Amino acid sequence: MKRGLILLILLLAGMLNVNAYELIIPTDKKVATTSDYALFVGRSKGYETITINKEGVFRASNGAFAHSVKLHDGENRIIIRSTYGSIQVFKFFKTPLKNIEIPVENFEPQLAFVVCDNAPLRSTPVDAGLNRMSHLFQGTRLIINGSKGDFYRVILSKDKVGWIEKKQVRIEESSCSEVPQFLSMESKRFKNAMTQSISFTDKLPYTIEDCDKEIIFRVYNPEYSEESVYNLNIPKPEKYVHIVTLNDGTYNFKVKKVTENIKDVVVAVDAGHGGSEKGAIGCLGDEEKDINLSIAAELGKILESKGIKVVQTREYDANLSLDDRVRIARENGADIFVSIHLNSIGNAPFDLHKTRGTSVYYYNNNSEKLAQSVLKHVTRSANTHDDGVKTASFAVIRPADYVGILVETAYMINPLDSVLYRDNKFPHKAAKGIADGIIEFLKK
């Protein structure tokens, strides 16, 4: 009888052995990567403990675990062991990213035209980060005098240059072209806005600087004179947006106050990802897009109950481009844009207590205060760790014609966060925090 029981226990243990833990990441035993870390994320089903390269791995109450291993160049063997002796071997092959410094090529000044709308003029020749000086309109007349990699150098004035991607301009071969002329300038004051208009015979490059007390729009005419810069300063109110339009050669720069009357405010609520774009995957296999959508739905309900007009960019599980998200917000006259996400890790080591919690991103200065107040309220309401207010160049929060933030409510792969976001009250708690943050921002 005793023997039978022991046999049964051994048999059960053996069964547990087969699939005692489940890995969500990685999905392959052999991985080629340029990343500095190998990430292991999954769920342990029993009471067993797991070690990765002999290091013990923390397991949350729901079995979720995450662990990263620093990789060296070449082949890395990583061994996962569980208490019952189940062993898996992974091979990560890391190739280092090559950093080849490309020299700047200088050439005689040449005339060029922007071939598409919304072409970023950058302060450095890289497509990354917060280096955008403005977004140029199709047909903008440029003088270029150098190149680096995929970029041309644009002369703005005697001591100022910008960079634009080569594919966004067409070089004008003929050199006989008339120098652009200034035509007129006008400023107007409205109840909730101020505008400055300026006209030239051609479309010229411009930049925007959001300073302490004012927004400075500058238009550059380097062919007329190296010092030919037209500065249009507009004082900014406490809560503001700014808009640039170009019609028949006339720039219209506008700084508008965000309405203080809550009933007049339109909030665009954007559930991140959707359809085949699942977003980040959690330790237990949850998909970010689904949680984003439930938070967005809750947020919509709460804001509407306060009398705020809400427009959802997606209300069901479907693919939606970043441009469409921005377009929907603009078409509905959004004053505020809130994109809802859960975080992923990127090329960084995983730390149970640091890679954790809520962070709120903004791009334009006009959105920093909203980011701060949303972060404060979400961490309180959803009981998440404070991962800070950060800046990033995400397409949906780049437009300055609304106040835009992107909320990473928690980390999909953090085991402690997975306990929070798997609670069915989480969408409401996170949404309540975002709504409270928005209302505090509007009332201040």
- Residue 403 belongs to what H/E stretch? strand 403-411
Q: Which of 94, 341, 398, 428 binds Zn ion (CB under 5 A)?
A: 341
At closest approach, how far in Å is the CB of 377 from Zn ion? 20
Cβ 408 to Zn ion, closest distance in Å? 7
In terms of CB distance, is 156 or 406 closer to Zn ion? Answer: 406
> What is d(CA 401, CA 237) in angstroms, rounded to the nearest whole number?
14
What is the closest distance, in whole angstroms, from the C-beta atom of residue 78 to Zn ion in the complex? Answer: 27
Which stretches of 347-399 are assigned E, i.e. beta strand? 358-362, 386-391
Closest CB 399 distance from Zn ion, rounded Å: 19
Contacts (CB under 5 A) with Zn ion, residues 23-82: none
Task: Concatenate the DSSP letters of all residues of 282-344 into one string.
Answer: -TTS-BHHHHHHHHHHHHHHHHHHTT-EEEES-SSS----HHHHHHHHHHTT-SEEEEEEEE-
Residue 31 CB partners (closer than 8 Å, separation 6+) = 38, 90, 91, 92, 93
- Interface segment toward Zn ion; rule CB under 5 A; list 127-135, 215-223, 313-321, 333-341: 333-341
Question: Which residue has the CB atom at the shortest distance from Zn ion?
Answer: 341
Tokens of 266: 């339109």
Q: Residue 94 carries which side chain, given as an amino acid letter?
A: K
Of 272 and 404, nearer to Zn ion (C-beta) is: 272
- Output 241 or 374, the one with its CB closest to Zn ion: 374
Residues 6 or more apart from 84 whose CB is under 8 A from it? Answer: 13, 16, 17, 20, 46, 48
Strand, helix or coil for residue 442? helix
Least gap, CB of 279 to Zn ion (angstroms): 4
Q: Least Å distance between CB 385 and Zn ion?
A: 18
| Distance in Å, CB of 301 to Zn ion, minimum | 22
- CB under 5 A: which stretch of 8-16, 46-54, 207-215, 339-347 binds Zn ion? 339-347
Residue with tokens 């050199």: 175
Q: Which residues in 217-256 contact Zn ion (CB under 5 A)?
A: none
Type of residue found at 342: L
Task: Name residues contacting Zn ion, limited to 113-142 (CB under 5 A).
Answer: none
Binders of Zn ion in range 251-310 (CB under 5 A): 272, 279
Q: Specify the stretch interacting with Zn ion by CB under 5 A; choose among 96-104, 297-305, 315-323, 336-344.
A: 336-344
> Binding residues for Zn ion, per CB under 5 A?
272, 279, 341
